[in-house]
Amino acid sequence: MKTTIKEQNDEIVVFFEGRLDTAVSPQTEKEIQPVLTADKDVVLNCENLEYISSSGLRIFLGILKEAKPRGHKVTIICTNQNLLKIFTVTGFTNLFEFRS
Amino acid sequence: MKKTDNPINKAWRKLQTRGGVLMLLTAAILMQVGSAVQYYFARNGIRNEVRQRAVSELQVKNLEIQKVVSRVETAVDNLHWALERSIVHPDSVYPILRRIIANNPDMTGCAIAFLPDYFPSKGYWYEPYVFRDGESLVDKQIGSAEHNYLEMSWFVDGLAAEGGLWTEPYIDSAGSEGMVCTYTIPLRDASGRIVAVFGSDVSLDWLGDLFEQKADVQTYLFSHAGRLMVCPDSSMVMRVTLEEAAKHYNDTMATQLKRAVLEGRQGSAEVKYGGEKSYIYYSPVGGNTGWSMSLLFPDKEIYKGLHRVSELLLLTMLLGLLLLAFIMWRTFRGIRKLGEVNAEKERIGSELKIARDIQQGMLPKTFPPYPDCDEVAIYGSLVPAKEVGGDLYDFQIQNGHLLFCLGDVSGKGVPASLMMAVTRSLFRTVCNRTSSPEEIMNQMNSAMSEMNENSIFVTLFVGNLDLKTGMLSYSNAAHCPPVLVNKTIATLQMDSNIPLGVMADWMYTRQEIHVGLDSTLFLYTDGLTEAENSSHGQFGEERMLAELEKLTTATPRNLIDHMSEVIQAFESGVEQSDDLTMLAIRYTKASQK
């Protein structure tokens, strides 16, 4: 699991690579701390994300919870059909902006 | 946890302290024994070295003295015949005496002392004497009433001797004030009668240079009569005899030596000197002179180095012991801490076990749950990955409706288990108010969103099965869709709804489906589809559906038991990573009530 944070065009973009499962999520949660405090729109790039567990989803919700009251959008970029299914079933498609 | 000083802890600590003291003591004793052995051998070695040094020193000095003594003795003995011939005329002795002195640098002067009136022309006393005065030689007749050699011991003894004889050393008061010794030999006339004594004076000033005094060894030279000729205290030279010293000092050295010197013995002894333990080595030196030499080694001085080493060793040992004590203290403290940590671990472990029991107690665990009810057969199973988990399921029959739920709290362990307990309680509470699945969901969601500080969310499926009609109404909060198993296998259609605890005002949707008789509704958590084998392959939905195909007629218990076995076989040896929960509900008979 690799997490990279980049700032692009007034947005803060988080690139997730690999498997965001229960084992790595505490580490990932630490790594995305700067995203929580950045006063910007957030893009969660999941193009190279293979799998997300409920712990991973919890991290996404945490980001949303910080950004929304400040009036910022959180967008998920996802091309993986399996992942998209998870996001759909869990209702994430209703909470986040989606881009492919 | 309060750090309790219970009796066991105290006893353990006491035991450790005692063990530590014992170890330290053993180490100290071992070190002591080691250093004692080392000390013993080193001491013996030094002792041997001293002995060898003494023996060789005595030999060397003996040779040095012997050299001078022999030169004088040889010179005199060789000229003996010439002297005896020269004593025919009183004045003819001077040339030969001169020649003797000139040829023997060891001698300071020599004389021939005649019996009284031997040469009537020379009077009662006649003692022609030649001696050195700087570079030149002086002739002088010294016999007189004032210098009455007839009563002097050298003359008396020399006359009585068979051959050459060394006198006791004496201070040359007439000449150099130095220490002098005289070698005498009796002279005979043609008829063989002893008529005179020849004496050659040998200065002993060189003795002072020959014997040097050191801190660890003192050198003594004694005359035949026990007079001190060389000693560390120069004021005593020639003034004190061993006899006087033995009387004067309360030391054993003088007493020991007195006997040895007078008897001309060789040997060694341990004595007291100046109140201190010392070792003496003594031996006769200088051949016929009857002198004896003695070396004195003060015990304190010869073992000075050894004692310094011993002190250093002791200091090192003490430091070593201190270090050892420190290391032991650290180790014991570490062990004690480890013990505390272990106790803490055990306590948490036992608390978790209790928590697990409590949690398991919250789940329906008697199957079949409704022995008198033949409309539905239900079986459920929950296997947490850790002691406690975040999965839950529950069901209850209410007015001819079976209300049931199955869900999964995000995360694992204690936080998830607390949330699980909350969710289960909420479900029970809300079920008493309403039996509509979406309303149950809405109420639970709003309660959970309000108290959700940690973004812990719950995916939950809530169903309401009308036991009379077989109509199933359900609402799903992002949980994985249940499977309806009858002749065919079908996954329930799912609206997109968000998990519980995310947004308080989310309106959950309701869906419906008709469940035919002898159909089984299979609910599960993602612990099933995401079960992993050793190569990180997931069990997956397809495999699950394929297994369910084989189980269309199975009872709920058989279905779940079979599925559990399949999962176990799939995981084979890999630790279960997520909680695994399954619930199977089979609609067996339409209710008539």
Alpha carbons B337 and B334: distance in angstroms, whole number: 5
Q: pTM score > 0.90 for this model?
A: no
Q: If you average pLDDT over residues A39-66, what whole number do you get?
A: 86
Residue numbers in A near B477 (CB within 8 A): 91
Q: Indicate yes or no: CB of A91 within 8 angstroms of CB of B411.
A: no
Containing structural domain, residue B555: 364-587
Residue numbers in A near B411 (CB within 8 A): 22, 54-55, 58
Q: Which of B455, B494, B502 minimises the CB distance to A89? A: B494
Give residues with Cβ within 8 angstroms of B3, minimum separation 6: B340
Note the pLDDT of residue B253: 79
Q: Indicate yes or no: CB of B499 within 8 angstroms of CB of A57.
A: yes
Q: If you average pLDDT over residues B27-54, what whole number do you get?
A: 89
Q: If you average pLDDT over residues B319-344, what whole number do you get?
A: 89
By the CB < 8 Å criterion, does B498 face chain A? yes
> Does the residue B465 lie in any domain?
yes
Which amino acid, one-letter code, is at A9? Answer: N
Please report which confidence band the pLDDT of residue B147 belongs to, taking 50, 70 and 90 as the band edges: confident
Say whether both B507 and B580 belong to one domain.
yes
Alpha carbons B313 and B429: distance in angstroms, whole number: 81
- Residue B2 pLDDT > 60: no
User: Among A40-49, A54-63, B523-532, where is mean pLDDT lowest?
Assistant: A54-63
Q: How far is B362 from chain A (nearest CA, A)?
A: 23
- Residue B314 pLDDT > 70: yes
Q: Indicate yes or no: CB of B503 within 8 angstroms of CB of A58.
A: no
> Does the residue B298 lie in any domain?
yes
Say whether both B378 and B514 belong to one domain.
yes
Say whether both B296 and B444 belong to one domain.
no
Say whether both B295 and B374 belong to one domain.
no
Q: pLDDT tens, B428-486?
A: 999 999 999 999 999 999 998 887 667 788 999 999 999 999 999 999 998 989 999 98
Alpha carbons B267 and B251: distance in angstroms, whole number: 18
Phi then psi dihedrals of residue B369, to 5 deg: -75, -30
ipTM above 0.95?
no
- Residue B31 pLDDT > 80: yes
Q: If you average pLDDT over residues B72-83, what whole number do you get?
A: 87
What CATH number is attached to the domain comprising B398? 3.60.40.10
Phi then psi dihedrals of residue B69, to 5 deg: -60, -45
Give residues with Cβ within 8 angstroms of A88, minimum separation 6: B496
Residue numbers in B near A22 (CB within 8 A): 411-412, 577-578
Q: Indicate yes or no: CB of B457 within 8 angstroms of CB of A57.
A: yes
Q: Which of B480, B481, B502 minimises the CB distance to A95? A: B502
Return the SS3 of B503: coil
Pick from A57, A90, A93, A95 the residue to mutate for testing the B interface (most B CBs within 10 Å): A90
Q: Indicate yes or no: CB of A62 within 8 angstroms of CB of B494.
A: no
Residue B338 tokens read as: 């480890």
Q: If you average pLDDT over residues B487-503, what whole number do you get?
A: 87
Q: What share of chain B in percent tops pLDDT 70?
A: 97
> Does the residue B66 lie in any domain?
no
Return the SS3 of B400: coil
In terms of CA atoms, which chain A residue is nearest residue B458?
A: A54
Q: If you average pLDDT over residues B95-121, what whole number do you get?
A: 90
> Does the residue B164 lie in any domain?
no
What CATH number is attached to the domain comprising B218? 3.30.450.20
Say whether both B281 and B412 belong to one domain.
no
Note the pLDDT of residue B20: 79
**Number of structural domains, chain B?**
2
Say whether both B458 and B580 belong to one domain.
yes
> Does the residue B487 lie in any domain?
yes
Say whether both B294 and B369 belong to one domain.
no
Cβ pairs A/B, distance under 8 A = 59
Q: Indicate yes or no: CB of B459 within 8 angstroms of CB of A54.
A: yes
Residue numbers in A near B407 (CB within 8 A): none
Q: Average model confidence (pLDDT) for chain B?
A: 87
Residue ending a domain, choose from B284, B302, B320: B302
Q: Indicate yes or no: CB of A57 within 8 angstroms of CB of B411.
A: no
Note the pLDDT of residue B546: 93
Note the pLDDT of residue A26: 84
Residue ending a domain, choose from B277, B302, B327: B302
Q: Which of A55, A62, A90 minimises the CB distance to B478? A: A90
Give the torsion through C-alpha atoms of B452, B453, B454, B459, to 10 deg. Answer: 10
Note the pLDDT of residue B1: 43
Say whether both B408 and B283 belong to one domain.
no
Q: If you average pLDDT over residues A33-51, what whole number do you get?
A: 89
Structural domains of chain A, with CATH: 2-99 (3.30.750.24)
Say whether both B267 and B377 belong to one domain.
no
Q: pLDDT tens, B382-423?
A: 988 888 888 999 999 998 999 999 999 887 788 888 889 999
Give residues with Cβ within 8 angstroms of B399, minimum separation 6: B435
- Report whether B61 contacts B293 (CB < 8 A): yes
Q: Indicate yes or no: CB of B410 within 8 angstroms of CB of A57.
A: yes
Phi then psi dihedrals of residue B303, to 5 deg: -100, 10
> Does the residue B296 lie in any domain?
yes
Alpha carbons B126 and B521: distance in angstroms, whole number: 159
Radius of gyration of chain B (CA): 62
Q: What share of chain B in percent tops pLDDT 90?
A: 32
Alpha carbons B168 and B111: distance in angstroms, whole number: 17
Alpha carbons B441 and B506: distance in angstroms, whole number: 10
Alpha carbons B589 and B361: distance in angstroms, whole number: 29
Say whether both B430 and B568 belong to one domain.
yes
Q: Indicate yes or no: CB of B411 within 8 angstroms of CB of A62.
A: no
Residue B549 tokens read as: 């195909």
User: Among B7-11, B166-170, B439-443, B461-465, where is mean pLDDT lowest?
Assistant: B7-11
- Residue B171 pLDDT > 80: yes
> Does the residue B440 lie in any domain?
yes
Alpha carbons B283 and B579: distance in angstroms, whole number: 102
Say whether both B280 and B369 belong to one domain.
no
Residue ending a domain, choose from B302, B322, B338: B302
Tell me the pairing of strands B580-587 and B194-203: unpaired
Say whether both B400 and B528 belong to one domain.
yes
> Does the residue B127 lie in any domain?
no
Q: If you average pLDDT over residues B477-504, what whole number do you get?
A: 88
Q: pLDDT tens, B259-286?
A: 888 888 888 888 888 788 888 899 998 8
Q: pLDDT tens, B199-241?
A: 999 988 888 788 877 878 888 888 888 888 888 888 888 888 8
Residue numbers in B near A58 (CB within 8 A): 410-411, 455-457
